[in-house]
Structures are given as C-alpha cells and as structure tokens.
Amino acid sequence: MKRIYITSVFAFLTMLFTGCEKDFLDRPPKDKVDAEFFFKTATDLEVATNDFYSMLPTTGVYSDDASSDNIVPLNASDRVRGNRMVPTTRGSGGWSWSRLRDINFFLENYHRVPDEAAKRKYGGIARFFRAYFYFEKVQRFGDVPWYSKVLEAGDPDLYKARDPRKLVIDSVMADIDYAIANIPAEVELNRITKYTALLLKARIALYEGTFRKYHGLGDYEQLLQEAAAASGELINSGAYRLFTAGGPNEAYRELFARNVQDPTETILARDYERDLGQHNLGYLMTAPTMGAWGITKDVINSYLMKDGSRFTDKTGYETMEFYEEMQDRDPRLTQTTAGPNFMVYGESTPEPVNLNGTTTGYRVIKALPSRDQWSASYMDIIIFRYAEALLIYAEAKAELGTLTQQDLDISINKLRDRVGMPHLNLAQANANPDPYLAAMYPNIDGGANKGVLLEIRRERRIELFNEGHRWDDLMRWKEGKKIEQPMVGIYFSGLGAHDFNNDGKTDVFLHDGNAAGAPKEASTIINIQQRPLTNGTSGYLNPFSLGGYFDENRDYYYPLPIEDLRLNENLVQNPNWE
C-alpha cells in the first residue's frame, strides 16, 4: 500500500502540472484546477482515492494497547493516568478536518468521469473513508458537526454547532451502506473492497450499539442487528477463513509475525518491503528504553486452561509462579507472550529468559518479527481481519438476546477450533458466569446471557490482544473504571533464584540491593528497590504503583481545542473539560 500511495501522488502531481499550460500565477485556485484538469478518467479516480489510504493506521494498530489495561509500557500514557489536557491550538487533539475536505472535494467532482462502473467503485471507496473518518471523530468527541460538502471561506456552516451523534451515525451508516452496495466483492489484500466495508460497518454498528446501550442513550437495537447482519454476510460470503497453517501451536503467532500477508484471513493489510518501506514495530517491542511493553497479570489470568476450564478457578492461582501458570493453557497464551523455552520467530534455539525489556515480566511477542527486523521492520501490518467479524457476530447477537448455540459454533467456536480449544457452550456459560470476569466488568447487562457475554468478552480480549481495540471496548461498555484496577506482573514468592523453564537452573534472580549471591547462569537479575514487588520481598512486579485514573463524568470523551471554541462560539466543550 505504501508503494501505491507514493506512486499515486507522483502521478497526480505529474498530471496536474504538465496538463496545464497557463502561467503558474494565472492559474485558477487549486480546487478548480483539480476538478477541471484531473477528473476525466477511471485512472484519475483511482489515483485520487489512493491518497485516502494514508488515513489508515500503521504501527498504531500494535501500539494502542499500550495505552490501555492490556499493556504497561515504560511510561504510562496520559489517558491511562487521567492526565489528558485540553489542547490549545486550533485543529489539535484530533479536532482536524483537512482529510474530510479532501474526501468531500472528491465526492463533489468524481461525477465528471463518464465511466459509470468506476464512479460506483471509487465513489464507494470515498464514502468508506468518510465513514471511517467520522466514526473516529464520534468515538473521540461524541457529537461533531456533519459536513458533506467542501466549505469555502464565508460559508456560515464553518461556524455551525455540533450535530447530535445519532444524526452523524445515521449519515455514517448511509455512507458505509453505499460503499457496500457499490464497491466490487473482490479479495484484494491492499485495497478497500466490499468485504472491508462490511467489516467496517459491523465494527461501527457494534461500537455504537453497545455504547448507546451501556451509556443509556437508547435506540441501540437496530444498530446491533446491523452489526450482526453485516458480520453474518461476511461470514456467509465464504470469501475468508481463519489462517491455520502450522497448527494450533503455531498458526496464531505465524499470522502476525510473518513478513508477507495473504488473503486467507487478512482482509486489509499495509504492505511493507525491505527496500521500499519499513517501520519500527520490532524496535518498539524489544528496546528496553523505548517501550518495554509488559502484559498485565489479569490478561494472563484470563486465558483458559487447555481443557476449557477457568484458570482463575484453580486453587492458588494468585500465587503460581511463571512456569506453573504457563502449563496446559490456551495455546494463544504462549503465542502472545514469551513462555518457557521461548524461541524468537524464525529460530530453533530457546532464547535466554530476559525480563529487562518488559515492565511486568510478560513479554509481548504477538506481531514480533524475526530478529533481523528488530531495528527496522518490514513485515506487513494487518488492519482488518476475518476473526473480528466472528467476534462481532457473537457479541451483537448476545447483546440482543438472540444468540444460539449454532451462532456460537459459526463464530467463537471457529476461533477455538484454530487453537484446539473446547467449544464454548451457551447453556453452561450462562448457568455459571465467571466471577473473575464479572468483577472485571461490573456494568455488564446481559440478563440471562450474562455468562456467555462474559465469555465473549474474554475471547475478544484474548483474540484481539495488541490490535488496538481494547480502549474502545472499555469505552463502549462503560467500563472506564477498569483502568483503575491493579496493573501488575509476574508473581515471585520471594528473593533469590527462580527457574522459569523447569530445567533446574536459575533464570531470574531477585535481590534487595545486594546481588552477590546471584548464580552466573542467571540471565535476568532484578533489584526490587528499582523494580518493586507488591508485598515487599514477595508479590507481583509492580511497574505502575500509582495506578490508573478515570473520571466517569469526563473521560469517555476527549476535549475540544481552546482556539476552536473561541473561533466558533456555537461549539461547546465536552462535559467537565472546561
């Protein structure tokens, strides 16, 4: 995709400047030049919409969880600490509208092209990106002004008030429905297709439906039905299936760590290559002074036992040390974090235990590439994948109260099949809701489906871990206070030697200021004066002792910039951000 973007912009500029013989100063305004000289062929439409792909995320897909309760980085983010500030500068803090102008300009002019099929396709792609743009704005700010035209100087709508989120979401859904109806049903790894639009619709409808339900806004049922319908259509299309190469113990990790994606499960990916485009994901995940990402203990606790029973039902689970807690678990656990005898992707020799690059002791290895890419990475980044559709389908049906065992079998249980886990049983889950998860999500409102909803949330957190969904999930479920629950790491029974792979040798040695007794074989030495435990000389690694903070009356939305509020007296700041 990076290559497409660079080429398209170059082509756009070449056509724009070589296609006009007027003196530069005699040219009309840029917008008029674009419309008059550029919107002529299907290729022009393709080139113009290629520029919109730069709106899509890059490494942020795999770094956003470090600003949630899933991962504790070296420095906790402002939104986790409750330290977000009201931005000052106009257009800052996410209140930027330049890309919307680009999209609306395209939509006002693409009709000039006579090719009807091209107009349908690329008009659909533009509307996909407008829906994507506005969905992010609603997630961040709630009510926002809806603009479906290019605003010129002097237009009174420049200073309009924010429109209600329901009006905006209605417009977003109309855009995404147009995209679904008009973009071809093709399997294209690096291009927006009908299938990408179906998944975006399902994502938007699930988010907004559950947000309205749990925040008491009403009118949520239709959205949840649309989420189920869109994800169901994608499932029933047969265009995608789960990636299973390598079997239960390798497929999940392989999906994210491999260099080149394929369209088995991956619906949309950013394309990178060694010589044409690289990113810094490997560095973010391995540099001790950069991120030092550590998975939190309650994520680790959420993985089931391999027989389908709950780890947190086991006697003494709270004080199990590393080797014991890693045994006989959902295979995704040790494909997400470095377990005993961890091997770097592409290697066949176990890596020495190294806790120096992780705050909690639980290293993130999902999407960690081969060692040669740790300083500069070039593996593709997944943006949309089929597994999300399975999770959306099950959750929407459960929230509506219409979920059946057959629904679970075509969704959640397909994910379980990939890793050889027992199926989720609807009746059993509802008869015995997990108290550990219930304490994690006190606002859940599942009625008779509470037990299965908790299990679907477990599955979603595990399957989509480190893919940038967690913060948004907490916001839509009205579970912001989850950020205030302890974010701790590995449990240590005391100072001294600890064997992480059960080979009789010391891997980790803890001391309280004097490391003289540390065996030479120890690969990690921890001074608890620098990396404290929760109970003095024993307990969990405690990298975030101050803890998170979340204001229920403020933090579900972001603040608007001060300059924008001053320039437009019709704008009103979000509650409690004054």
pLDDT in tens, 393-425: 999 999 999 999 999 999 999 999 999 999 999
Q: What ranges in 159-240 are assigned the alpha helix state H?
A: 165-182, 194-214, 221-237
| Position 12 pLDDT exceeds 50 | no
At 129, which helix (H) or strand (E)? helix 116-141
**Predicted pLDDT of residue 3:** 44
**Predicted pLDDT of residue 29:** 46
Residue 356 forms part of a structural domain: no
Query: Across the beta sheet with 496-498, what order do the strands follow?
Result: 496-498, 508-511, 524-527
- Asked if residue 71 lies in contact with residue 296, where contact means CB atoms within 8 angstroms, the answer is yes
Confidence of residue 378 (pLDDT cuts 50, 70, 90): very high
Span 97-118, average pLDDT: 96
| Position 24 pLDDT exceeds 50 | no
Q: How many other β-carbons are positioned within 10 Å of the β-carbon of residue 578?
A: 9
Cα gap 269→192, rounded to integer Å:
10
Span 339-354, average pLDDT: 96
SS3 10: helix
231 and 166 belong to one structural domain: no
**Predicted pLDDT of residue 446:** 75
Q: At 95, which CATH number?
A: 1.25.40.890
**For residue range 176-206, what is the model confidence (pLDDT) as tens digits?**
999 999 999 999 999 999 999 999 999 999 9
Residue 251: domain span: 185-271+380-478
CA atoms within 13 A on the CB side of 131: 29
Structure-token match 């147009």, residue found:
178
Span 467-496, average pLDDT: 98
pTM comes to 0.94
- Asked if residue 379 lies in contact with residue 53, where contact means CB atoms within 8 angstroms, the answer is no
Q: How many domains is the chain built from?
A: 2
Q: How many other β-carbons are positioned within 10 Å of the β-carbon of residue 354?
A: 16
202 and 249 belong to one structural domain: yes
- Asked if residue 226 lies in contact with residue 173, where contact means CB atoms within 8 angstroms, the answer is yes
Confidence of residue 6 (pLDDT cuts 50, 70, 90): very low
- Asked if residue 59 lies in contact with residue 381, where contact means CB atoms within 8 angstroms, the answer is yes
Confidence of residue 272 (pLDDT cuts 50, 70, 90): very high
**For residue range 520-529, what is the model confidence (pLDDT) as tens digits?**
999 999 999 9
- Write the CB contacts of 261 (distance below 8 Å, at least 6 apart in sequence): 189, 269, 380, 382
- Asked if residue 265 lies in contact with residue 386, where contact means CB atoms within 8 angstroms, the answer is yes
Cα gap 517→558, rounded to integer Å:
51
Residue 313 forms part of a structural domain: no
**Predicted pLDDT of residue 83:** 96
Percent of the chain surpassing pLDDT 70: 94
Number of H helices, E strands in the chain: 21, 9
- Asked if residue 476 lies in contact with residue 217, where contact means CB atoms within 8 angstroms, the answer is no
144 and 227 belong to one structural domain: no
Cα gap 531→233, rounded to integer Å:
50
**Predicted pLDDT of residue 36:** 65
204 and 176 belong to one structural domain: no
60 and 121 belong to one structural domain: yes
| Position 1 pLDDT exceeds 80 | no
Comparing CA positions, the residue from 543, 576, 524 lying closest to residue 74 is: 543
Q: Are strands 71-72 and 294-295 parallel, antiparallel or unpaired?
A: antiparallel
Which amino acid would we find at residue 505?
K
396 and 466 belong to one structural domain: yes
Which of 478, 506, 525 is at the close of a domain? 478
Residue 374 forms part of a structural domain: no
167 and 217 belong to one structural domain: no
Cα gap 466→362, rounded to integer Å:
13
**Bridge partners, residue 491, by sequence:** 540
Cα gap 414→411, rounded to integer Å:
5
86 and 176 belong to one structural domain: yes
- Asked if residue 131 lies in contact with residue 179, where contact means CB atoms within 8 angstroms, the answer is yes
**For residue range 483-518, what is the model confidence (pLDDT) as tens digits?**
999 999 999 999 999 999 999 999 999 999 999 999
**Axis-axis angle for helices 98-109, 30-38 (nearest 10):** 40
174 and 52 belong to one structural domain: yes
CB burial of residue 491 (10 Å; 0-12, 13-18, 19+): buried
Q: What is the secondary structure of 142-156 as a DSSP string? A: SSB----SPPPTT-G
Query: Which of 231-245, 253-267, 285-299, 558-572 is least confident?
Result: 285-299
| Position 5 pLDDT exceeds 60 | no
Give the angle subtended at the CA of 574 by the CAs of 571 and 576, to the nearest 5°. 135
**Predicted pLDDT of residue 35:** 67
209 and 265 belong to one structural domain: yes
Residue 145 forms part of a structural domain: yes
Which of 478, 512, 533 is at the close of a domain? 478
Span 546-556, average pLDDT: 97
Residue 412 forms part of a structural domain: yes
Residue 288 forms part of a structural domain: no
**Predicted pLDDT of residue 445:** 84
404 and 260 belong to one structural domain: yes
**Predicted pLDDT of residue 289:** 83
Q: At 406, which CATH number?
A: 1.25.40.390
Task: Give the tokens for residue 355.
Answer: 């806790």
Confidence of residue 34 (pLDDT cuts 50, 70, 90): low
The beta-strand segments (E) located in 245-307 are: 266-270, 294-295
**Predicted pLDDT of residue 284:** 86
Task: Give the tokens for residue 135.
Answer: 């969905």
Confidence of residue 103 (pLDDT cuts 50, 70, 90): very high
Cα gap 74→83, rounded to integer Å:
16
Cα gap 249→414, rounded to integer Å:
16
Residue 66 forms part of a structural domain: yes
Residue 72 forms part of a structural domain: yes
At 497, which helix (H) or strand (E)? strand 496-498
Which of 420, 443, 478 is at the close of a domain? 478
Q: How many other β-carbons are positioned within 10 Å of the β-carbon of residue 149?
A: 12
**For 195, phi and psi rounded to 5 degrees?**
-70, -35
561 and 456 belong to one structural domain: no
